[in-house]
């Protein structure tokens, strides 16, 4: 049998009977599967947390912890793991209960080895199909990019098509869309795809400039033009010569500056403040705004003639709510990006985390999604992002209510310790785990899905006493 290491799977077998473990291990041994066994259910759970297997086989009746308890903890950790329960005390009621609680199968002992091999082989094939689907998604991700933009929805293909068509020719472009939809990425892609790609890409955020300095920022000034002008200074138009000038949030530009911008666009020449000499420039201008400029024109806050000059070509960036099918693609991209940036081995999301993202309406659009995944990649305690790793507002109302009290206590404690917000959240998780375990480090480490050495490091890092703490 040919083995592709990319699709190698892990199986954990938990049974307090050594003879059963040996028999099951022999029956399930195959080249493309790594087998891990444990006679103690807690050790078995530790193997699950460490190796994140695709399949777990567990006995139902075991000392210290039942198979149903093992099932509950695995489902809590990652509900996508297939769990098969085995028991010599089979009843229809217990089988139905196990399936309701998340078990993939429920087998009667003594287990027919041929039946078990068939069931496990089917689960392995399904897991391998998921791996192959992930590869296909990766290829889709690469084929669904234009510059720094990601999208495979009809709305984004329309944007990509428009960029490709106008990039070689534009002199002015207006990019409109809600905050967080990627207007800056459209501008950067237009620049890189245009004949001016070798020139500067110069950005001016119009909402961040003091009104009295606008003209100097754009067109420059000569020495003595005004108080504080101690030397000549070139403006952004001159600096962007033979390149692209990106005027972000153009709707916030003062009317007086709009008139001078219009003349610069019409004549392709500028005058520095305090100078009578005109300078010819060759600049492509991209303006962007989240505002309704037509309403601004009606309210005399934006010049109609400048609007028509800028909007010879207009590109609208669609909100995430209109990009049906792009959420999973963008999520996968963000996970890859932040996992690499933070040095984390995160491969994706648990099904319930995916459901939580799918239910959200994303008013902050792609920028909000990036912030959510970046946060989750820092908070994740396993190789998959779970609901508990998402920002509080994306978790359930019940989880939010439970965390409110400890969050406020942790905020006060973290301020006293001078911790960053991320450190404060991590410290809260450790404190909560220590409280839930009554100070038992092994139990707290299990709750956090980390090793005891890692827990001891965090206790020391955050100055948490080994005993249970209540602050």
- At residue 206, the pLDDT reads 93
Domain region containing 424: 397-461
- The CA–CA distances, whole Å, from 449 to 95, 258, 347 equal 28, 58, 16
pLDDT higher for 469 or 10?
10
pLDDT at 334 > cutoff 80: yes
Instruction: Cite the DSSP H helix spans in 225-323.
Output: 236-239, 255-267, 293-298, 304-310
- At residue 284, the pLDDT reads 96
Q: What are phi and psi of 328, to 5 degrees?
A: -65, -40
Q: Are residues 196 and 312 in the same domain?
A: yes
Average pLDDT over residues 434-445: 80
- At residue 451, the pLDDT reads 67
Domain assignment present for residue 448? The answer is yes
Is residue 222 very low, low, confident or very high in pLDDT (cuts 50, 70, 90)? Answer: confident
Q: Cβ(140)–Cβ(325) under 8 Å? A: no
> Which one of 394, 411, 442 terminates a domain?
394
- Distance in angstroms (rounded) separating the CA atoms of residues 278 and 410: 61
Q: Are residues 356 and 407 in the same domain?
A: no
> Which one of 141, 165, 184 terminates a domain?
141
Is residue 168 very low, low, confident or very high in pLDDT (cuts 50, 70, 90)? Answer: very high
**pLDDT, tens digit, for every residue of 103-156?**
888 888 888 888 888 888 888 888 777 777 666 666 667 778 888 899 989 999
Q: Are residues 251 and 118 in the same domain?
A: no
Q: Which of 81-85, 300-304, 345-349, 359-363 has the highest mean pLDDT?
A: 300-304
Domain of residue 302, CATH code = 3.40.50.300
pTM above 0.75, yes or no: no
Q: Are residues 161 and 304 in the same domain?
A: yes
Residues 6+ apart with CB under 8 A from 89: 60, 61
Domain assignment present for residue 471? The answer is no
Domain assignment present for residue 286? The answer is yes
Average pLDDT over residues 283-310: 96
pLDDT at 447 > cutoff 90: no
Q: Are residues 198 and 97 in the same domain?
A: no
Q: Are residues 187 and 66 in the same domain?
A: no
Average pLDDT over residues 50-75: 90
Q: Are residues 298 and 157 in the same domain?
A: yes
Domain assignment present for residue 470? The answer is no
pLDDT at 283 > cutoff 80: yes
Q: Which of 182-186, 227-231, 397-401, 427-431 has the highest mean pLDDT?
A: 182-186
pLDDT higher for 455 or 280?
280
CA angle 48, 54, 60 (to 5 degrees): 60
Is residue 364 very low, low, confident or very high in pLDDT (cuts 50, 70, 90)? Answer: very high
Domain of residue 339, CATH code = 1.10.8.60
pLDDT at 214 > cutoff 70: yes
Q: How many domains does the chain have?
A: 4
pLDDT at 416 > cutoff 70: no
pLDDT higher for 369 or 79?
369
Q: Are residues 104 and 219 in the same domain?
A: no
Q: Are residues 299 and 362 in the same domain?
A: no
Q: Are residues 115 and 128 in the same domain?
A: yes
Indicate the range of 292-296, 380-384, 390-394, 423-427 predicted with least confidence.
423-427
> Which one of 293, 316, 339 terminates a domain?
316
Domain of residue 72, CATH code = 3.40.50.2300
- At residue 134, the pLDDT reads 65
């Amino acid at each position: 049998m040919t083995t592709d290491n990319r699709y190698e799977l892990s199986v954990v077998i938990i049974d307090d009977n050594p003879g059963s473990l040996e028999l099951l291990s022999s029956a399930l041994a195959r080249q493309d599967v790594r087998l891990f066994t444990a006679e103690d259910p807690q050790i078995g759970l530790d193997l699950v947390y460490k190796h994140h297997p695709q399949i777990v086989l567990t006995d139902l009746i075991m000392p210290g912890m039942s198979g149903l308890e093992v099932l509950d903890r695995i489902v809590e950790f990652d509900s996508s793991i297939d769990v098969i329960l085995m028991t010599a005390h089979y009843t229809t009621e217990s089988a139905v209960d196990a399936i309701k609680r998340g078990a993939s199968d429920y087998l009667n002992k003594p287990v027919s080895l041929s039946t078990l091999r068939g069931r496990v082989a089917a689960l392995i094939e399904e897991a391998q199909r998921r791996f192959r689907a992930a590869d296909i998604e990766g290829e889709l991700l690469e084929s669904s990019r234009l510059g720094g933009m990601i999208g495979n929805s009809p709305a984004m293909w329309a944007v990509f098509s428009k960029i490709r068509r106008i990039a070689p020719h534009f002199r002015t472009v207006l990019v409109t869309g809600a905050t967080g939809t990627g207007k800056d990425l459209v501008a950067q892609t237009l620049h890189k795809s245009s004949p001016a790609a070798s020139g500067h890409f110069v950005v001016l955020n119009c909402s961040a400039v003091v009104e009295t300095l606008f003209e100097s920022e754009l067109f420059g000034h000569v020495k003595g033009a005004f108080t504080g002008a101690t030397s000549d200074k070139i403006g952004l138009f001159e600096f962007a010569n033979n390149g692209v000038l990106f005027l972000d949030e153009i709707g916030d530009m003062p009317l007086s500056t709009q008139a001078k911008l219009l003349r610069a666009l019409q004549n392709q020449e500028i005058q520095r403040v305090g100078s009578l000499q005109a300078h010819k420039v060759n600049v492509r201008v991209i303006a962007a705004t989240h505002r309704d400029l037509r309403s601004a024109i009606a309210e005399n806050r934006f010049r109609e003639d400048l609007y028509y000059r800028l909007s010879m070509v207009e590109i609208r960036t669609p909100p995430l709510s209109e990009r049906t099918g792009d959420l999973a693609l963008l999520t996968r991209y963000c996970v890859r990006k932040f996992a690499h940036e933070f040095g984390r081995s995160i491969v994706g999301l648990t099904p319930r985390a995916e459901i939580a993202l799918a239910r959200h309406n994303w008013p902050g659009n792609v920028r909000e999604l990036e912030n959510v995944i970046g946060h989750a990649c820092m908070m994740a305690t396993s190789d998959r992002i779970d609901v508990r790793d998402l920002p509080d507002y994306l978790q359930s109302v019940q989880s939010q209510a439970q965390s409110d009290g400890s969050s406020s206590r942790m905020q006060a404690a973290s301020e006293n310790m001078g911790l960053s917000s991320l450190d404060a959240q991590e410290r809260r998780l450790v404190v909560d785990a220590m409280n839930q375990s009554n100070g038992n480090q092994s139990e707290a480490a299990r709750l956090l899905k980390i090793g005891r050495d890692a827990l001891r490091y965090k206790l020391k890092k955050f100055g948490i006493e080994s005993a249970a703490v209540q602050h």
